[in-house]
Amino acid sequence: MSSLSQQLENLVLEMPGVVAVFASGPLIARGALELTSGSASRVEVSGGDNDAYPDRIVVSVGLDAAAQAPVTATAIASGIRAALPEGALTEIVVRISSVTGLP
């Protein structure tokens, strides 16, 4: 797993309302990647210079029911953007994959 990928996973998990980070790709593709590269990241960092100027970052999250999905997704994207070097033109995709229910 790249250091940027791990850093972003930790950053996203610390965001208010986020209860989980899920693998962004299909399970079979993720398994093949883990076997060939040793990567077990749940945040997809691809293209470009992966640790400095990646072309694309995809994160899939689970949210608490009290979190406002659009606001939280925007906060996640802004946090990721702030973690990148100034001038990075990275596409950032935030997917809301689940919302936990209230007890």
- Taking only the tens place, the pLDDT of each residue in 60-80 is 999 999 999 999 999 999 999
Mean pLDDT of 85-96: 92
Please give the pLDDT value at position 1: 45
Cα-based angle 8, 29, 58 (whole degrees, multiple of 5): 30
pLDDT higher than threshold 60 for residue 94: yes
What are the extents of the domains in the chain?
3-98
- Which one is predicted more confidently, 103 or 59? 59
> Which option is the CATH number for 3-98: 3.40.109.40, 3.30.70.1350, 3.90.180.10, 3.40.470.10?
3.30.70.1350
Residues listed for the chain: 103
pTM flag (> 0.75): yes
Per-residue confidence (pLDDT) for residue 9, from 0 to 100: 94
pLDDT at residue 102 tops 80: no
Pairing status of strand 44-46 against strand 18-22: unpaired
